[in-house]
Structure 1
């Protein structure tokens, strides 16, 4: 199965290989802005934070219906947990929430510990700072070519919760550089 959302269709579309056609999930009352596969289920979130799952029979199950202000919502799986990143675009600040699966609600996180969350041109993933060979985790890297390749880092330490430029953490810049062998002639 494949699930897709588009600016051109009012509802998510589900593709089942056996049927070989796209089926609109029309019993959804809002436009969803991000999808994440978590524990073999499709999770969708809208701009208010309302989160649903779509089951294999195309039924829709409400996960949480909070009102979380902000301009943009993004989902990512990190260390076996589903995270919701809320972006205030004018301030370039971020809030991160973890889904409490048992109580079906989003819980605000104050720290990502050693994790680095990446949101790059419609893709998202999580990695540990040590796996990336960078000194510090606890940040969100957001790159979107809709904003002329603006890169923002947000540090979740309580003493510094603001966007940081790439030059302040130069080691992260090497994550996006071409390998040395490309520059050699």
Structure 2
């Protein structure tokens, strides 16, 4: 190790600048004292500034004492457990999925990728030198202080994308709220900007190849340009399912069509419990309405050359993860346990981003079966720790 400790500081600085994740910077600094002195600790408050977002109506805080909502940004990683470095013939012994929160003061926050349940206590005993983090995707979630999810927000992403510090004047978010409305809010705005006043049936947003894409309940994919104009990208899918998700896999964009056992809430349900000024009249009635559960899935990929949808019959070795705040794919060959050709998803009973009352399920393509993850423990090994995530 002594020969590595004597590397020039200039070389160490060049290496550190090529580390994509801040947790990797922490691992770098943990190698030895000379490496730690050569590189400053990462600043954990650069990407999302530590301030409250005073969201305008129709988004309302559950308690007037709240100064605003907190925008939490996380990174979904494949966490690889490494063997002894001195054994060059040793390969990776285990690899699991985890969500890494970027907090202040160098403290890492780890969450279950699907349920967002925090798992920090199990992380304390781990040695960063024994771990490698591979970034798979990024996610954003709005929460009130105390961890209460922002009711009515279905999906949120930071707009525009920024590679550096975001100050108060630059921060903006795209959101699907009230089960279908597509809106934009910039820090300090007194109201939301509705991006499409003709379509209130949007289901999902994704950042794909540096662009923002949305899908509605008919399976029409559109992209959002820098001027916030919504431009149709694909023909309608006209899938018969009740909920659509966008997933990137191996460089291609997929639409996952979820079939439900009942009718979903719509934007009209929210308007029925609000007065003309956007004040809630009877939210308890809306929140008590259970969500329908998934009973089947279909997956489609757009043939861009012919402008037609291709019905995918198998995901092969791929696993699709439909999270509360982010959807992504991964190969089962890169993970410990689990099997390919399946979809992991979170069925929430009552709504919102990560509200309690739900469970993780697994859909298997070979027989179109759906099981609660708690009943098939072998499939939970792809997450770390494997025994978390049944609820938020």
TM-score interval (norm. to shorter): 0.7 to 0.9
- In structure 2, relative to structure 1, the CA distance for the partners of 1:12 and 1:165 (3 Å cut) is closer
User: Which residue pairs with 2:245 in the alignment?
Assistant: 74
- More contact order relative to length (CA 8 Å, sep ≥ 6): 2
Identify the residue that residue 259 of structure 2 maps to in structure 1.
88
Give 1:97 shift: 0.8
Task: Return the structure number with greater strand share.
Answer: 1
Distance 1:179 1:161, change over 3 A: closer
What is the match of residue 154 of structure 1?
A: 363
Q: 2:231: which partner in 1?
A: 61
Q: Which has the larger radius of gyration?
A: 2
For 2:340 and 2:382, the matched residues in 1 are separated by 13
- Which residue matches 2:68? none
Deviant stretches of 4+, over 4 Å: none
How many angstroms apart in 2 are the aligned matches of 1:102 and 1:27?
30
Q: Which residue of 1 aligns with 2:377?
A: 170
Confirm whether residue 5 of structure 1 aligns to residue 158 of structure 2: no
Aligned position for 2:148: none
**Residues 116 and 141 of structure 1 are in contact (CA less than 8 Å); yes or no, is this contact kept in structure 2?**
yes
Cα 1:52–1:136 shift into 2, 3 Å: same
Aligned to 1:65, the other structure's residue is in SS state coil
Shift of 1:153: 1.7
Deviation, structure 1 residue 70 = 1.2
Q: 1:41 aligns with which of 211, 232, 241?
A: 211
Matches within 5 A, 1:125-140: 125-134=328-337, 136-140=339-343
**Count of matched residue positions in the alignment of Structure 1 and Structure 2:** 175
Measured in 2, the distance between the counterparts of 1:104 and 1:60 equals 19
Worse-superposed segment, 82-91 or 168-177:
168-177
Deviations 1:99-132 (A, max 9, x none): 2233333321001011111112232111110112
Q: TM-score, normalised by structure 1?
A: 0.80
| Residue 142 of structure 1: how far off its partner (Å) | 0.9
Deviations 1:38-57 (A, max 9, x none): 12221111112122111112
Are 1:95 and 1:108, in contact at CA under 8 Å, matched by a contact in 2?
yes
SS at match of 1:64: coil
- Stretch moving more, 101-110 or 143-152: 143-152
Structure 1 alignment gaps of length 5 or more: 181-185
TM-score (norm 2): 0.40
How far has the Cα of 1:14 moved from its partner? 3.3
Which residue is equivalent to 1:31? Answer: 201
1:1-56 residue CA offsets vs partner (Å, 9 max, x unmatched): 14221118x74223578xx7563313543420111111222111111212211111
Tell me, which stretches of 5 or more residues in structure 2 are unaligned? Answer: 1-159, 161-172, 262-293, 351-356, 388-392
Query: How far is 1:141 from its partner?
Result: 0.6
Question: How much does 1:84 deviate?
Answer: 0.9
Partner residue in 2 for 1:116: 319
Verify the 8 A CA contact 2:255 2:299 in the aligned structure 1.
Answer: yes
In angstroms, what is the RMSD of aligned CA positions? Answer: 2.7
